[in-house]
Structure 1
């Protein structure tokens, strides 16, 4: 990507500059720019749009699946067999390679479209002042200095400094992570204020929820906040997954060993025996084909694909196969707060009157839950006995412009979220405000922080209802509503103590007050509520934690996984939610300002020591993910806003919310949660651990097959005897065991206690010493039995084709019985319940038996693979050897459990 062009009239920290000064710096005339001046600036700065994402071509995406050293060795083997005229061998080898690539290509799906997702957020049209007239133009044609009119329901088309506002609120959660719409004004703020605190700015791509305003464009295209995030996403380097790194290292080592041994074997045959060059080449090819687990990449892909399907049934859509395995390696989950750990639905939790405090049940906008006295457990409050509580809720309902509606079995708010929480509170209390005729209104404004309505109540009396910030209403109140004695003098210190208490818990606190109106009054002015109000009480509102997420976090901790909250919200709210969810037990929190000042080394320590990070920007989230990775952690990052997208892309696993997540976030992530439920992350990690176990089982199962075959070929060359297995027969064994027996391991259920063990350490070998020993042990066991049976039957004058057929059956039967050993890595498989726990294993054995019968008795198979029909006794030998293999390996597992 080319470096972005410097913007015309660049202004540093426009949020810190007064509107008049901004207008001068950007040379923005009162009548707006002329068309010629706008065109000149457009030619200089460029269109107000983001650069298109570069996409991989379809051929590149397909052929990258051949980029594997083991595959290169197989392709070389295919070329040699073709040169020698062994076309069946060539065809089988190429078929295996192509099928593996096709599976990977289909399952990987389309390439990332994160930048395209962000472009879809941008506004299409803008109402701009040009030459003294307001005209609607394509938003791409906006330039710095343009004056733009903002209206409720529209998206902000560019970054701009606000110069006029009327009840303007903008929903900025995609950029800041805050659940509540931000109140906007024209006031300047500190130069180092975070995005969420820049009240005099409107940012491109955010949504205007209420009010109107006028702003002067300060940045367009790539220079906007959303453009800056776009650039960050494009520049973020995606790191390889732990298993990918392990498999690449494993493949390189295995390739070097196999090629080296094939060369040694060739020279042994040349110098010590009278093999022809053609026979030696075939033997070397046979050894390479035998030793290379060509079915492993396909089994790897299929296992992950099956895991993707299982995860989809559990509401986690996996966009990239490798992510599902990486989840099993996760050591840290970095989670956004709003909409991820919380519901992103404001809820009234606490009520305080002069008499007492009360709790409100239920979460979100659904009118479900009861109001209880904080000391009386589950008993619903009787409002006849507590009229002061009814008065408090009544005022919050009457002085309210929102509505809650049920749509598609989900309750939604029409209007401002905080007012929606109060409307739900009224519904829980069965307060019906439909008969309160509204006569006049003072709407909420950011400078006075309250709303007031003049209403005619049921008996015809006129009442003034007020709700707003507690300090504003306390300043205007002389009395408070008492439980027993009606109205009494205001006890301001009492209310301030409760405001501080609720605020410390991360709640947004609103107050309510009333006073009678004058008879015949038909208008409402500020002077009408400047004094003598009766203070009714407080309501504490919060975006509540998801109850199921609390349990999931506890399970993650039990599994040795750290959970860290990284949010754009205020520190107090973040700590309160973090404590309630079990993420932290302290009040310790690191803010974005502190992160900004920290060096990389200091940040590594902060990322390790702290679990709550508040008022963070996209850069902070990205730096934290990098710091954790530098500490050796495998990081999963969750989020739903555009501000989360760079960190999601950088993380080992990016997890986006499917319902409330932006398109940009979904495209930057590897996993999308269809239900926006943190619990699905915990389930995904369990699935990832199971898949990793199953992949280890597949490797532990497949490699002894290859080891046994390689041992048979190597022994034959050293002894100077006829090959017990031909290359095409080796491919047959590899193919049928991979598509039947090895595939059955992909269906293995989780082993007991999978979420009770700590994550595997990053960099740990995929097998480890004990499993390497088992591979060698089983290879010698099965390979030794195979060559012994071949030599024994040849000594009894059995034909070469029949002896080879018997050797193939011995290999296959040994693998079939060993499958049941491999289903449990360390535990015994002898228990009846474990033997039948995976029906797919028995189906695989039955299918394999059918394949072997065809191999032995079908004339066409005899022609292609050089097999020969066997007598009945020849079936008993392989079955007996297979049973012996099973019992011997179980004995080995018992000994290693006791001694190691």
Structure 2
């Protein structure tokens, strides 16, 4: 049986080892050096060198610390992403039980080759894709590949079948796990040729693109570089034309150009993102990659997995239909509370008086190997209702657990039946027979109970249980009505199980003449919070798309309940395969549901949306989701049910597997981007004001308006705490009622550059006006500079409050809406006051005490700026 060792050795040479593709990893040094390729970082490094040459050591040290902080943070994030495939490799089995030379041996899984015969049993990790040769009650959990949590029954097929496509009943897949039974299988694919290997290849081929924020900051860096060169050249040229010393003017030009660099910007962006990460963590969203926080804010399409994200991932019996009546069960998922009602009028029932209901639920309890338990004993409000806190603890098959929970709501449990019924034998569910049976001793009577597919059990039933609990012969009309009822339940995306019984002294699974008890209809219900989140996304013009491996009818039914299918269409993986990329790009906007999809389909869907210019967020939990999660602009993994592979490929991890948490994260992302625009507006306006003050002073032939040490003080007071506090601005109330920004939208869109330039010009002109006015009042040069310093700083500190909103003016906002900003401004004002008043600091910063008229002049020009700016810009 199986291969000989020599045959296996020859095949191993040609096929290679049964391992996944090696990741193209970059070394730590290369990753770290890569952090310094950003244009803004290069400008800052250049400024550092020049600062050292000019003797401004404190400036140089500050800039170096900022650059190093950003480089270390970027290195940590990128280094972590390089190890995604290592987690994927760890999911494959290290050893396998394999027949070699007619002997069953345990060998390294990496040495398996096609043609090997292996043995599998419950608890084994499947080491390669294999065709099933023989199986006895064998089930495989393929959730990591298909995303569906229900274990799949496997049965023997053709030994020559080498097609390892997903969702085949005669194929077991590498990385999946055996949950029940035993199996003998023939290896048909190893390494990169397995389904897991194909996913590994997809992950390897995906390269990370810069986030929208990184692109915008790159554009900003280039703009700053051009501005610095222009400023340097203009100052140099103007000075030389006036007859100034060439070297002195070159140094002056360089000094002013450095003043134009917003060196606090990278640090402020990093701090704003880090603070958002902290806030999101409190909301149960863990961020792996810092810049993804902002990318979330411009998400225009959310591609969500169905199971466990939109739905509860907890099968729930919602109705039980007997010949005499329909019964409905309230309570979602594994929650303890719930009740039983009867008919369309939802009449409360006493289950003990409903014989047909009681007998059907008894069958569901006895025909089950699952277990449910609670920490607190639930209370029965009446005979048909259960009240309790928390959830049932479930062990075993989710379908069987759903039947146990439904029965518990009617007061029927395994414990309550233990005195009257005892299970003597069991015939396990099999994919070929598609039913399960148990032999029970119920007092002096011995009975068999059956649970399985409607199309298998209903034809075996010759009787049905009546309302009073007595068997009644089944007519052809009743049989037809039952078949129609089962079809109607299936059309509503319910999973339908038939329940039946018969008298028997022995376990005879092939018994006919059964007594029909009822149909149990169950579903994986949508989360209530997911419905709310989907409505919130729609209000924010964010399209939510559901992607699932489920049948199309089931997916459509869930989408309708979740509020996803309003005006949208559904497409299957097979229909997706029939479309070219160009055709898919043209029509994909019409679809909100994709069913029966495989990993490659998910990747195509994400890429198609991206080609249309959408910013795509993809959620997932299984290995099958990992390529699409990594390809998306923002990949989101489930923290509870997600595999390590998906978590490492993701940018964000939802600690509660809740779509509502993701929507809250999108809101935080929008807030972060809005705040970044706010402090970019603030920093650039201030820097333009400083540069204009110095540049116009030189052009006008005035003395140097501000000394280098005073410019350093301005940057220290205005670029630090106020900018950081501005990054803590809470989200505006209507932020989720606006459409997401377009991916191609520039950083200065919406007239932001106009606001920055106008405000910067006013700050510069008011500072020069303060300088010249004090000079005309007879003030000394030191007094003029002190007045200019006060005007420049105070006008910037006023401007920081204007930057809190792009939609409302300073006079229409609550000044105490951001207390952190108020405190930051007070501290900055206190530092300025100390530099002007304290004699020791006056010597350092070349300031002097001002007279009352001089001080009022400086403050007056500061206060005039926001008034004039508001009128000019029509805010």
- Aligned residue for 2:144? 174
What per-residue deviation string (whole Å, max 9, x for no partner) do you get for residues 261-283 of structure 1?
32122112112x13223321232
Q: How far apart, CA to CA, are the structure 2 residues paired with 1:482 and 1:535?
A: 10
Whether 1:226 and 2:177 are equivalent positions in the alignment is: no
Aligned-residue offset at 1:84: 4.0
Are 1:657 and 1:674, in contact at CA under 8 Å, matched by a contact in 2?
A: yes
Q: How far apart, CA to CA, are the structure 2 residues paired with 1:511 and 1:595?
A: 34
Are 2:81 and 2:648, in contact at CA under 8 Å, matched by a contact in 1?
A: no
- Aligned residue for 2:387? none
Whether 1:118 and 2:88 are equivalent positions in the alignment is: yes
Q: How far apart, CA to CA, are the structure 2 residues paired with 1:407 and 1:67?
A: 57
Whether 1:71 and 2:41 are equivalent positions in the alignment is: yes
Q: TM-score, normalised by structure 1?
A: 0.90
Aligned-residue offset at 1:46: 2.7
Structure-2 change in CA distance of 1:396 and 1:698 (3 Å): same
Are 1:169 and 1:210, in contact at CA under 8 Å, matched by a contact in 2?
A: yes
Are 1:346 and 1:417, in contact at CA under 8 Å, matched by a contact in 2?
A: yes
Spell out the pairing of 1:440-589 with structure 2 (5 A cutoff). 440-457=425-442, 459-484=443-468, 486-490=470-474, 491-517=478-504, 521=505, 523-527=506-510, 529=511, 531-585=512-566, 588-589=569-570
Count of equivalent residues: 855
Are 2:766 and 2:862, in contact at CA under 8 Å, matched by a contact in 1?
A: no
Structure-2 change in CA distance of 1:296 and 1:758 (3 Å): same
Aligned-partner SS, 1:589: strand
- Aligned residue for 2:742? 761
- Aligned residue for 2:265? 296
- Structure 2 runs not aligned, ≥5 long: 377-389
What per-residue deviation string (whole Å, max 9, x for no partner) do you get for residues 606-645 of structure 1?
3211111111111111111111111111111111111111
Are 1:282 and 1:727, in contact at CA under 8 Å, matched by a contact in 2?
A: no
Whether 1:439 and 2:424 are equivalent positions in the alignment is: yes
Are 2:802 and 2:810, in contact at CA under 8 Å, matched by a contact in 1?
A: yes
Whether 1:593 and 2:574 are equivalent positions in the alignment is: yes
- Return 209-218 or 580-589, whichever deviates more: 580-589
Structure-2 change in CA distance of 1:533 and 1:190 (3 Å): farther
- Aligned residue for 2:326? 357
Are 1:179 and 1:543, in contact at CA under 8 Å, matched by a contact in 2?
A: no
Aligned-residue offset at 1:587: 8.6
- Return 246-255 or 349-358, whichever deviates more: 246-255
Aligned-partner SS, 1:777: helix
Are 2:568 and 2:590, in contact at CA under 8 Å, matched by a contact in 1?
A: no
- Aligned residue for 2:622? 641
Match of 1:131 among 81, 89, 101: 101
Match of 2:817 among 837, 851, 860: 837
Are 2:131 and 2:161, in contact at CA under 8 Å, matched by a contact in 1?
A: no
Are 1:367 and 1:425, in contact at CA under 8 Å, matched by a contact in 2?
A: no
- Structure 1 runs not aligned, ≥5 long: 1-29
Spell out the pairing of 1:153-232 with structure 2 (5 A cutoff). 153-187=123-157, 195-232=165-202
Q: How far apart, CA to CA, are the structure 2 residues paired with 1:60 and 1:798?
A: 58
Structure-2 change in CA distance of 1:312 and 1:112 (3 Å): farther
- Aligned residue for 2:650? 669
Whether 1:657 and 2:657 are equivalent positions in the alignment is: no
Are 1:466 and 1:513, in contact at CA under 8 Å, matched by a contact in 2?
A: yes
- Aligned residue for 2:765? 784
Aligned-partner SS, 2:423: strand
Are 1:195 and 1:617, in contact at CA under 8 Å, matched by a contact in 2?
A: no
Aligned-partner SS, 1:611: strand
Q: How far apart, CA to CA, are the structure 2 residues paired with 1:352 and 1:446?
A: 25
Aligned-partner SS, 2:535: helix
Q: How far apart, CA to CA, are the structure 1 residues paired with 2:79 and 2:820?
A: 27
Aligned-partner SS, 2:353: coil
Aligned-residue offset at 1:45: 2.5
Whether 1:337 and 2:306 are equivalent positions in the alignment is: yes
- Return 309-318 or 808-817, whichever deviates more: 808-817
Q: How far apart, CA to CA, are the structure 2 residues paired with 1:542 and 1:600?
A: 34
Aligned-residue offset at 1:193: 8.7
Are 2:140 and 2:178, in contact at CA under 8 Å, matched by a contact in 1?
A: yes
Are 2:21 and 2:197, in contact at CA under 8 Å, matched by a contact in 1?
A: no
Runs of 4+ in 1 over 6 A off after TM superposition: 106-109, 189-194
Q: How far apart, CA to CA, are the structure 2 residues paired with 1:534 and 1:398?
A: 16
Whether 1:713 and 2:700 are equivalent positions in the alignment is: no
What per-residue deviation string (whole Å, max 9, x for no partner) do you get for residues 794-822 of structure 1?
34454434433332221110011111111
Are 1:657 and 1:676, in contact at CA under 8 Å, matched by a contact in 2?
A: yes
Match of 1:328 among 273, 297, 300: 297
Aligned-residue offset at 1:829: 3.5
- Aligned residue for 2:661? 680
Aligned-residue offset at 1:539: 0.7
- Return 88-97 or 705-714, whichever deviates more: 88-97
Q: TM-score, normalised by structure 2?
A: 0.93
Q: How far apart, CA to CA, are the structure 2 residues paired with 1:190 and 1:556?
A: 49
- Aligned residue for 1:390? 358
Q: How far apart, CA to CA, are the structure 2 residues paired with 1:485 and 1:456?
A: 19
Structure-2 change in CA distance of 1:799 and 1:74 (3 Å): farther
Whether 1:732 and 2:713 are equivalent positions in the alignment is: yes
Aligned-residue offset at 1:236: 1.1
What per-residue deviation string (whole Å, max 9, x for no partner) do you get for residues 482-515 of structure 1?
2258332321111111111111122211010111
RMSD: 2.5
Are 1:653 and 1:670, in contact at CA under 8 Å, matched by a contact in 2?
A: yes
Whether 1:401 and 2:384 are equivalent positions in the alignment is: no
What per-residue deviation string (whole Å, max 9, x for no partner) do you get for residues 332-377 of structure 1?
1111111221122211122111122222122223433112224234
- Aligned residue for 1:367? 336
Are 1:648 and 1:668, in contact at CA under 8 Å, matched by a contact in 2?
A: yes
